[in-house]
Chains A and B, each alone.
Chain A
């Protein structure tokens, strides 16, 4: 594909060095944080840790993981993103399929599309949202974390565009065989959409993995917190102005820089592992959607 002219060689070398430099620039902060998480808090507070741990210790990780809550929270998280991804994927497939029809084949799809779209632009705020979840009886259950956010509108739009790009002949052939919409979706559309599905699965997993605020607010006891919510509670910086005689002891936990780093790293690690693997599909998902005539 690439044919090098003599001058091109210089360009390639320069380009490679440049891109390498940029990559390093992006990598360094993460290494810095990793180094921090393995350092003891004195050097960390003095900002003496650069890219290598000072006074190497597992202390921060022990601090975060030594409690039984860590495991409980891990289980909740696994539940959350397996149920959540399943629900979200099912809803996304159904909606995207219907919305991918042209207006003449499905009257009202444009109106429906805008109904979906508007939810991104407008929201009523925290309190009414909480009340809706409260009134539907989901509070303090795993369902509160997976149903209200079950429709990921952007994923729907992603997939509907992918469906739209599929050859019309596929669908027509199915209809001629007498298949209904649902059968067409399951038998015809899903098998050819693996890359796109992988992409939205990645997005959904990342979403459920990273979400922490809803867990804190919607669960009534820490035993029901997902992992990120739990991590948030162990490393939150305490408000120094609230220090009173009774909480003087708590100050010992304040120097949080190292455990905050460990939290960040633990939180991002699974995604960092999964991402390069899914990236292949991700690119394919984009490309495949565009390379049919």
Chain B
């Protein structure tokens, strides 16, 4: 009897440990990456490389071909949606052949990884001292590589080899682009041209509801509140039930993180810039989160929430969850980005062919114009491994892409850009860059062509968009074509974006360096506190908590960070 019990217990026990283990076992996969031994790149290699470089000076030609082909290794990030023409692979495609034929550069992919794990894989690569010649990295990784002296200074080769067109692209937004990869005055990597302008905040409204309820287009914050009120209380969907939501928000609070349904737009309307570093009257940088303008905006949000004009349950909804109301035709007002018609507004259109959405420039609470803030900093870079003999090869590859992508020739475009059957082969290029105003130009050219019916001046990509929009306008378009019209069309989101551009309304985050020491240690704590306090105030907590938040913020590390940020600002 005893034995039986024992044996039984044994098995039962073990089964239960399996459970415990199953819980523990998953931990490895989380974000908490860990340790590593590593050998940093030897310094001798560097010296010999430098020696050989100065010994054999080359004629400077941005697209010069190496007589004897050189090899360059790299690592590639892939997406599941990437398609290849028959026979091609990531190792052998139209771009790898172009590099070899036109430049004499043989690209070797050390490894490829799905974009979801690419950053982690690069981390282990860096830790094992095993980085390829061309290293695609994130901002944090670049800083580590620079600190460990593992990457080449590209200042000289950039100045010498970057073609005029390439330079134009990289200075289009001023110094911000190149500065983001500059450490102590040296360019240590090629930054991705972000087109951060595209991340401006817009006010999206169900315009068919606006018409139905006889409401004016939004011009002020009061209009927004009025619209939210009408959308909540006047049964815009006409089903006789009070089941619609005024303003949609989601639990991340800021749409700059999600591109959809945040409070940023309303904050900007109050000239408040939470989480921005902005210049104060004396020329110093201050943090936007703790300014009195934020308090005023929060108060308005609280008032709206109390009046039932904001989704009651936004506090527990993520982007997808918040977008459901929109798709179901229960919501018609939010702050978001220019691409919202592709997601999630397309669902709204899918479910209700009468649904019409229009983007407006954000509106102000007073007679000062509302200026959208842009905080997006550049996070993707390509560095060159220290000691690699031909750092200029990277610039040449970039030049080649810029050259080819600006060649408005059907054959070239179909060969190197998008094939006739829609495969985006341009994604195979190792280094890519384009003018950050590409989308705005698209809108301007396409709308102009729609007016004049003259498509001869359109680039091929623009023509493509033009065709989609005309198809929609002719009444036979699908939701996808409707989306293109809502973005690039005459009354598309870029109409408002163009207004920002022509009036130069955008405000940029003044701090775009790598995180300072205290930031690295304390920022997540401060952010968490901010989320908690702001959310609770909107949902009804006393507004006095804002003042407490400000003093806590300063105490916990905010003052320290402010000091460091200003030091950075002065030495920039």
Contact = CB atoms under 8 A, between A and B. Distances in A.
Instruction: Indicate whether A and B are direct neighbours in the complex (CB within 8 Å).
Output: yes
Given A222-B78, A250-B81, A162 B11 contact: yes
A238 B32 CA distance: 21
Contacts of A191: none
10 contacts: A42-B347, A157-B17, A158-B14, A158-B15, A161-B13, A233-B78, A246-B438, A254-B342, A286-B8, A286-B15
A241 B120 contact: no
Contact of B339 (A162, A251, A293): A251
B7 interface: yes
Interface string A246-283: 10111111110100000000000000000000000000
Interface of A: 40-48, 120-121, 123-131, 134, 140, 153-155, 157-158, 161-162, 164-165, 196, 203, 213, 216-217, 220-222, 229-230, 232-236, 238, 240-246, 248-255, 257, 285-287, 289-293
Given A153-B21, A241-B257, A165 B110 contact: no
B163 interface: no
Given A120-B24, A255-B347, A286-B8, A233 B116 contact: yes
Given A42-B351, A154-B18, A244-B195, A221 B81 contact: no
Name A's interface SS.
Answer: helix
Interface in B402-443: 424, 426, 432, 434, 436, 438-439
A243 B341 CA distance: 14
Contacts of A42: 327, 346-347, 349-351, 479
Given A125-B34, A216-B113, A287-B8, 15 more contacts: A43-B350, A45-B323, A45-B324, A46-B327, A127-B35, A127-B127, A154-B17, A203-B18, A233-B116, A240-B343, A241-B256, A243-B339, A251-B339, A290-B10, A293-B1
B259 interface: yes
Contacts of A196: 11
Contacts of B111: 140, 220-221
A165 B6 contact: yes
Contacts of A40: 350
B342 A232 contact: no
Contact of B80 (A124, A128, A131, A233): A233
B525 interface: no
Interface residues of B, number: 88
Nearest to B259: A240
A243 B424 CA distance: 16
Contacts of A242: 379
A63 to B, nearest CB: 9
Interface in B305-363: 319-320, 323-324, 326-329, 337, 339, 342-344, 346-351
Contacts of A127: 33-36, 123-124, 127-128
Given A128-B35, A217-B121, A290-B5, A46 B78 contact: no
Interface string B187-207: 000001011001100000000
Nearest to A282: B15
A158 to B, nearest CB: 4
A257 B124 contact: no
Given A46-B329, A120-B21, A128 B37 contact: yes
A140 B12 CA distance: 38
A255 B260 contact: no
Given A120-B24, A158-B15, A234-B80, A245 B319 contact: no
Contacts of B121: 216-217
A21 B114 CA distance: 42
Contact of B124 (A126, A164, A222, A290): A126
B258 interface: yes
B452 interface: no
Contacts, number: 226
Contacts of A216: 113-114, 116-117, 121
Contact of A289 (B11, B18, B348, B480): B11
Contact of A293 (B3, B29, B349): B3
B112 interface: yes
Interface string B118-134: 00110110011010000
A257 B347 CA distance: 12
A3 to B, nearest CB: 24
B124 A130 contact: yes
A245 B438 contact: yes
A134 B80 CA distance: 25
Contacts of B34: 124-128
A245 B198 contact: yes
Contact of A165 (B10, B29, B80, B339): B10
B110 to A, nearest CB: 7
A259 B11 CA distance: 39
Contacts of A213: 28-29, 117
B19 to A, nearest CB: 9
Nearest to B83: A67
A289 B438 contact: no
Nearest to A167: B3
A255 B343 contact: yes
A195 to B, nearest CB: 10
Nearest to A253: B81
Interface in B435-488: 436, 438-439, 479-480
B195 A252 contact: no
Given A126-B120, A254-B343, A245 B195 contact: yes
Contact of B36 (A48, A128, A246, A286): A128
B376 interface: yes
B439 A41 contact: no
Contacts of B349: 42
Given A126-B124, A131-B36, A244-B194, A46 B11 contact: no
Interface-central residue, A45, A129, A254, by most chain B CB under 10 Å: A45
Contacts of A253: 81
Contacts of A289: 7-8, 10-11
Contacts of A165: 3, 6-7, 10-11
Interface in B537-561: none
Contact of A158 (B18, B90, B120, B348): B18
Given A127-B127, A217-B120, A222-B112, A47 B324 contact: yes
Contact of A126 (B28, B348, B434): B28
Contact of B4 (A140, A230, A290): A290
A243 B259 contact: yes
Contacts of A155: 18
B175 interface: no
